[in-house]
Amino acid sequence: INGARLIMVATPANAHGDIAEQLAPFLKDDQIIMLNPGRTLGTHYFYNLLEKNGLKANVIVAEADTLIYTCRLVKNGLCRVFSLKKELHVAAHNPDDTQMVCELLSEFYDVIVPAESVLETGLSNLGVIFHPVPVILNIARIEEQSTFSHYKQGISPTVATFLEKIDNERIAIANALGVKVDTAVKWLNRIYRTEGDTLYEALQNNVAYTEVLAPTTIHTRYIYEDIQTGLVPLSILSKELGIENSAMDCVIRLASMLYNYDFYLNGRNEGIIDFQKIINSRKVAISR
Amino acid sequence: INGARLIMVATPANAHGDIAEQLAPFLKDDQIIMLNPGRTLGTHYFYNLLEKNGLKANVIVAEADTLIYTCRLVKNGLCRVFSLKKELHVAAHNPDDTQMVCELLSEFYDVIVPAESVLETGLSNLGVIFHPVPVILNIARIEEQSTFSHYKQGISPTVATFLEKIDNERIAIANALGVKVDTAVKWLNRIYRTEGDTLYEALQNNVAYTEVLAPTTIHTRYIYEDIQTGLVPLSILSKELGIENSAMDCVIRLASMLYNYDFYLNGRNEGIIDFQKIINSRKVAISR
């Protein structure tokens, strides 16, 4: 990384901890670390871990709201890119740096859109809604090695209604923090031009999801990434804000019991992120 | 019911409330009401509802640990009996009445075994372990109208391990109350002569379960009966006893969100049953 201006971190977000730990001693002033994507509170988490691991340099950490490519690994070392996203929303940890980071990225990609803050990118984390719960509510079927469409068969009307509950908790957090985000249904309507007023209808009408199969193992990033880097920080935010978080909280607890793994303890929790400070600085920003 | 000595109540236990309400005004002294089965704390619940609904007579309420027949409704008015259980454990609400009730029942069935108390029959409620969680963790598949074996396919290794957590909570309650009950695995080994040290092995090895299909709708007694009359009272007992009840509690919460129905409020809860009195009287009995 010596001499690199821009360091692109394009891993599932649950690897960010290891990467920050290994990067910290080698970073130089003015290097930009770009998380693709940051998931929820990614730059906060990454910065804190850099500092815990001996960061001396003055670096910029930024994040995107999603991975720019829709792609899958074909085999080790070979990745198939299906498409490039139509928009990539990007924010630097310090909003003053966002413009500069976006200009730099725009040299390589023509879909970069500056986001207001990392709360905007982080609260637009839809993996949290679409990934972990359908795995959990189809866990026997996945373990049986059944082949089925994650979105069309895995998300039945009852599952979709429950996902809407989780989505409502996410939207309530965004509202409380004065951050504009789309509901999952509106996001589908906007990005995929799907029709439908309910999440179930929108998902069933989304042709792009037809062939997206469910994970072939229960040990998948749909669980480890999306719970630790999405549901956990969102659940803590909602608790700190005094917002109902029964659905998110229940999923974290159930997953921890099913997987015999403490997602909360291993997630982006209060031990690593100062949630109250984030909330307070946002209140100051809103009141300005 | 005029002139009846013995009134057999053989419905899913979530109908006990309605039945008690309708029976109460018509009961005569010395009539025996037999719950087949009582599920958990059935006689307590039934007695209290009889009294709330104007019971004047001096009646005996008793319960069995399971339904004596293994049977299914073929169509309205026609029931197919597959087999008679090898043992039916029976307890009267007041243990002093148990012998008399068992003698009366033995005139009709030769499999009656007196139980020590209604805690023994009620804490042997295995529907709580085997029924609701596999429905919930296969809810998309059930809603999609897939046909699969409830026990062999619906209970994958991860599901079985989670069921063992719930079972451990049930066993801990029984231990705290000085009531001897089998673990689910030992029960399978005893009743069905299945081999296997884990619940998953025991279930996979149980030939009798091969053709038991999963419910064809998510609105099934496996949910409404077993959560309201089993998981809810067990969860409250564990809480009152200071026993870990994360697994039971999590299932009740998740089910309530998935079904948009408050299982706790509609279940056998503190509003209807005096849990502390049951625990205290048991402590007195143990210390004798």
* B163 contact A CB<8A: no
Rounded (5°) CA angle B77-B109-B60? 85
Q: What is the DSSP string of A239-268?
A: HHHT---HHHHHHHHHHHHHHTS-HHHHSS
Catalytic residue among A65, A167, A226, A249: A226
Residue B252 in contact with residue B235, Cβ under 8 Å? yes
Residues B138, A134: C-beta atoms closer than 8 Å: no
- Within 8 A of A149 by CB-CB distance, chain B residues are none
Residues B250, A257: C-beta atoms closer than 8 Å: yes
- Within 8 A of B257 by CB-CB distance, chain A residues are 162, 165, 246-247, 250
Catalytic residue among B131, B150, B167, B249: B131
How confident is the model over B90-138, as pLDDT tens digits? 999 999 999 999 999 999 999 999 999 999 999 999 999 999 999 999 9
* B153 contact A CB<8A: yes
How confident is the model over A81-137, as pLDDT tens digits? 877 888 899 999 999 999 999 999 999 999 999 999 999 999 999 999 999 999 999
Packing angle of the helix pair B232-241, B246-259 (nearest 10 deg): 140
Q: Provide the pLDDT for residue B207.
A: 86
Q: Provide the pLDDT for residue B150.
A: 96
- Within 8 A of A257 by CB-CB distance, chain B residues are 162, 165, 246-247, 250
* B106 contact A CB<8A: no
Residue A280 in contact with residue A241, Cβ under 8 Å? no
Catalytic annotation present for A226: yes
* B35 contact A CB<8A: no
Q: Provide the pLDDT for residue B2.
A: 86
Catalytic annotation present for B131: yes
Q: Which CATH number fits domain A6-118: 3.40.50.10090, 3.40.50.300, 1.10.1040.10, 3.40.50.720?
A: 3.40.50.720
* B152 contact A CB<8A: no
- Within 8 A of A159 by CB-CB distance, chain B residues are 139-140, 143
* B213 contact A CB<8A: no
CA distance B53 to B16: 13
CA distance A50 to A18: 10
Rounded (5°) CA angle A229-A231-A236? 100
Residues B137, A134: C-beta atoms closer than 8 Å: no
- The DSSP call for residue B227 is I
Of B155, B250, B253, which has the smallest distance from its Cβ to A140's Cβ?
Answer: B155
* A152 contact B CB<8A: no
Residues B254, A250: C-beta atoms closer than 8 Å: yes
Contacts of A121 (CB under 8 A, 6+ apart): A37, A38, A42, A63, A64, A65, A89, A90, A91, A115
- In CATH terms, the superfamily for domain B6-123 is NAD(P)-binding Rossmann-like Domain (3.40.50.720)
Residue A277 in contact with residue A41, Cβ under 8 Å? no
Residues A141, B138: C-beta atoms closer than 8 Å: yes
CA distance B176 to B171: 9
- Within 8 A of B153 by CB-CB distance, chain A residues are 140, 144
Average pLDDT across chain B, whole number:
95
Query: What fold characterizes domain B127-287?
Result: N-(1-d-carboxylethyl)-l-norvaline Dehydrogenase; domain 2 (1.10.1040)
Of B141, B247, B250, which has the smallest distance from its Cβ to A141's Cβ?
Answer: B141
CA distance A218 to A220: 6
* B134 contact A CB<8A: yes
ipTM: 0.93
Whether the link from the prior residue into A114 is cis, omega within 30° of 0, is no
Residues A253, B260: C-beta atoms closer than 8 Å: no
Distances in Å between the Cα of A31 and the Cα atoms of A15, A27, A41, A282 are 20, 7, 20, 26
Q: Provide the pLDDT for residue B74.
A: 85
Catalytic residue among A44, A131, A150, A249: A131
CA distance A117 to A92: 7
| Radius of gyration of the CA atoms of chain B, in A | 19
CA distance B9 to B1: 12
CA distance A155 to A163: 9
CA-nearest residue of chain A to B135? Answer: A137
Q: Which two tokens stand for residue B264?
A: 């706790």
Q: Regarding beta strands A69-75 and A78-84, do their DSSP bridges make them parallel or antiparallel, or are they unpaired?
A: antiparallel
Q: Which two tokens stand for residue B216?
A: 């064809």
Q: Provide the pLDDT for residue B77.
A: 92
Per-block mean pLDDT, blocks of 10 residues, chain A (288 long): 93 96 96 97 97 96 92 87 87 97 96 96 95 98 96 97 98 96 93 89 89 94 97 98 97 98 97 96 79
- Within 8 A of A144 by CB-CB distance, chain B residues are 153, 156
Q: Provide the pLDDT for residue B287.
A: 76
Residue pLDDT tens, chain B, 288 long: 888 999 999 999 999 999 999 999 999 999 999 999 999 999 999 999 999 999 999 999 999 999 988 888 889 999 988 778 888 999 999 999 999 999 999 999 999 999 999 999 999 999 999 999 999 999 999 999 999 999 999 999 999 999 999 999 999 999 999 999 999 999 998 888 888 899 999 999 988 888 889 999 999 999 999 999 999 999 999 999 999 999 999 999 999 999 999 999 999 999 999 999 999 998 877 777
Residue A90 in contact with residue A105, Cβ under 8 Å? yes
- The DSSP call for residue A83 is E
Q: Provide the pLDDT for residue B84.
A: 82
Residues A140, B162: C-beta atoms closer than 8 Å: no
Residue ranges of the domains in chain B? 6-123, 127-287
Q: Provide the pLDDT for residue A81.
A: 84
Residue A44 in contact with residue A118, Cβ under 8 Å? yes
Place of tokens 């509170």: A41
CA distance A21 to A50: 6
Percent of chain B whose predicted confidence (pLDDT) is above 70: 100
Rounded (5°) CA angle A103-A107-A112? 60
